[in-house]
Amino acid sequence: MTESTIPAEIYADMHYYSEQNTKLLDLIMQDEGVRVKTPVFTKDAEILKIYHQCNDFLTDTDPTSAQYKDFPPTLCSWPIFFGPEARQDIEDFMAMMPEALTEVVLNFTDNAEHFSQYFGVPGFFHSLLKSMRFEPKRLTMRHDMIRSEGVFKLIETNVGTNVGGWDLALFQEDYQLLLEDIGFMARDESRAFEPMSLIFKEIYSFAKEYCGEGFLGNVLLVHGGDQHTINHSDSVVKYCSDSFHKTLPEEESANIEVITSLSNVGFDPSGKVTYNGKLFDLIMLADATGDEASAFIMRLTSSHIAKKVFFLDNPVHQVFGSKMIMAAAHQMAREGRLLDKHAQWIQRHIPFTASLSDEYFYFNNEKLELTEFAKKYKDQFVFKKGDSAQGKDVILGKNETTQSWLEIILKEDRSSGWIFQEYCQAEKIINTHKELGLAEFDLIWGLFSVNSHYSGGFGRVSPSKSCDGVINSCRGAKEIAILEIEK
């Protein structure tokens, strides 16, 4: 690839985020010595294990420290910069998103059975959402977004502690050092975000306000279940503890405990959580599964409703991470059941989405039955499961024949929680990667928000020449760090 072969629109898109992106790209194109550089990581091997463990890169044999001194194969060589214009567009998106989707969830239906079937949650969640004091700003989220035709489009939202991707913040300082080393930018000219510190800061404030008098502020974070997490729990404990205490107000004396098992966890008579003789009232479940975890979650939710604890990952909040919410949003906007500002936000930022359970599909000023809709607009839609994760159960119509597309769709039960979502072409960037060299990549953002504000993020990219339209770390996507330019 040469400078003259890079499409003008790629320069324009990269320049939109910050002019520093195009300046860096020009430098990379002109200087082969710069092009092949990669960060030298300053974190010790134990901390680097967090990154690999969180992304399932550990093998059954524990790696040696020496293996972690090399450039992690999942990371691109250079960061991308966000400037004030891009940051403001993202802030505008995140300010409106929780309140718009809250209106959708609270007013979608008065029928608990329909709510349960549509969102795939227990029916009593419907009444809980109606009755509990719910403020959408308390949600911690990661928004997977594509900037398509100049507008950020929401592809899916992940809610809670275990949203994934925060670990890339570990390497932001190393990218800053690399940029300084090549004489491109001093360290203090860019800003690195630490999502975990920002999350701890905000949820501590939420929890203190929510629980009121008697709030202790002690955090219990359940992180694990798989053997790799348990093997390297010391690294997780250190990172989480450092992130928590960095933002804890000086006058507070709260502590954090990070555990990998629920075996010694219980409740005191008031409803606070106990562990090894200590009381906790800010609970985060990064990873907990099985019957024991299910019973614990239900008890925690009861304590949360009673304001004895603040349970960040209570299952009622998880409704906001369902892809079905996007189909419900478009249905309600079409039916005129939302505030105008929310309907306009949905139509601008959420690709047209419809549930497989819909009797008719209202798209492009047409009203079509399922088979007719699927045939006519095959190449414009993605068919995906509402609770899918890691890029699974995602089928692009443009990659299928008409026959295979219809077979995939029609074999599913109409009420099984599948959606159609309008396909958005990912924007493209140029970067370098140790294995791939200089290449053109398709890009999807994973941007965090807490308290309705941008809280850092990362990008995932797949080589454009081989990308099948699904960009996900678990399907081999590379990752890219973000640094912010404040002026």
The better pLDDT of the pair 63, 466 is held by 466
**Mean pLDDT score of the chain:** 85
pLDDT tens, residue by residue, 8-60 = 889 899 999 999 999 999 999 889 888 888 887 766 555 555 555 444 332 33
Count of domains for the chain: 1
Say if strands 256-259 and 219-222 run parallel, antiparallel, or are unpaired. parallel
Residues in the chain: 487
Say if strands 478-484 and 80-82 run parallel, antiparallel, or are unpaired. parallel
Residue ranges with strand state E in 66-150: 80-82, 140-148
* Amino acid at residue number 87: R
Share of the chain above pLDDT 70, in %: 85
Q: Tell me if 410 is assigned to some domain.
A: yes
pLDDT-derived band at 388, boundaries 50, 70, 90: low
Q: Tell me if 233 is assigned to some domain.
A: no
Q: Tell me if 269 is assigned to some domain.
A: no
Domain that holds residue 374: 354-422
Calculate the alpha carbon distances from 441 to 28, 115, 404, 465, 471 in Å.
15, 40, 28, 8, 10
- What pLDDT does residue 385 have? 87
Measure the CA–CA gap between 173 and 324, rounded to whole angstroms: 38
pLDDT tens, residue by residue, 31-43 = 988 888 888 776 6
Whether pLDDT at 62 is above 50: no
Query: Which residues, 6+ apart, have CB-to-CB distance to 363 below 8 Å?
Result: 352, 354, 373, 377
- What pLDDT does residue 319 have? 87
Q: Tell me if 111 is assigned to some domain.
A: no
Average pLDDT over residues 352-359: 96
The better pLDDT of the pair 464, 482 is held by 482
Average pLDDT over residues 89-99: 93
DSSP 8-class letter at 149: T
The better pLDDT of the pair 44, 138 is held by 138
Question: 């093998």: which residue's tokens?
Answer: 59
Query: Which residues, 6+ apart, have CB-to-CB distance to 86 below 8 Å?
Result: 16, 17, 18
Question: 């790696």: which residue's tokens?
Answer: 63
Average pLDDT over residues 215-234: 69
Question: Which secondary structure element, helix H or strand E, spans residue 28, and what is its range?
Answer: helix 19-30
Q: Which two tokens stand for residue 135?
A: 């403020």
The better pLDDT of the pair 347, 169 is held by 347
Q: Which two tokens stand for residue 213?
A: 């008098």
- What pLDDT does residue 65 have? 35
Q: Which two tokens stand for residue 234?
A: 């010391």
Whether pLDDT at 282 is above 80: yes
Give the closest residue to 197 by CA, choosing from 242, 232, 252, 159.
242
Q: Tell me if 400 is assigned to some domain.
A: yes
Measure the CA–CA gap between 25 and 429, rounded to whole angstroms: 10
Give the closest residue to 18 by CA, choosing from 78, 90, 84, 76.
84
pLDDT-derived band at 375, boundaries 50, 70, 90: very high
Answer whether 144's CB lies under 8 Å from 445's CB: yes
Q: Tell me if 272 is assigned to some domain.
A: no
Whether pLDDT at 233 is above 90: no
pLDDT tens, residue by residue, 238-248 = 778 888 888 88
Measure the CA–CA gap between 10 and 14, rounded to whole angstroms: 6
What's the sign of the alpha-carbon dihedral 347, 352, 355, 361? positive
Whether pLDDT at 3 is above 70: no
Q: Is 450 helix (H, G, I), strand (E, B) or coil?
A: strand
Average pLDDT over residues 99-126: 90
Q: Is 396 helix (H, G, I), strand (E, B) or coil?
A: strand
Q: Tell me if 368 is assigned to some domain.
A: yes
The better pLDDT of the pair 253, 74 is held by 253
pLDDT-derived band at 1, boundaries 50, 70, 90: low
Measure the CA–CA gap between 312 and 135, rounded to whole angstroms: 12
Q: Which two tokens stand for residue 464?
A: 């454009």
Q: Which residues of 214-229 are buried (b: 16+ CB within 10 A; e: fewer)?
A: ebbbbbbbbbbbeebb
Q: Tell me if 364 is assigned to some domain.
A: yes
Per DSSP, the chain holds a count of helices (H) and strands (E) of 16, 20
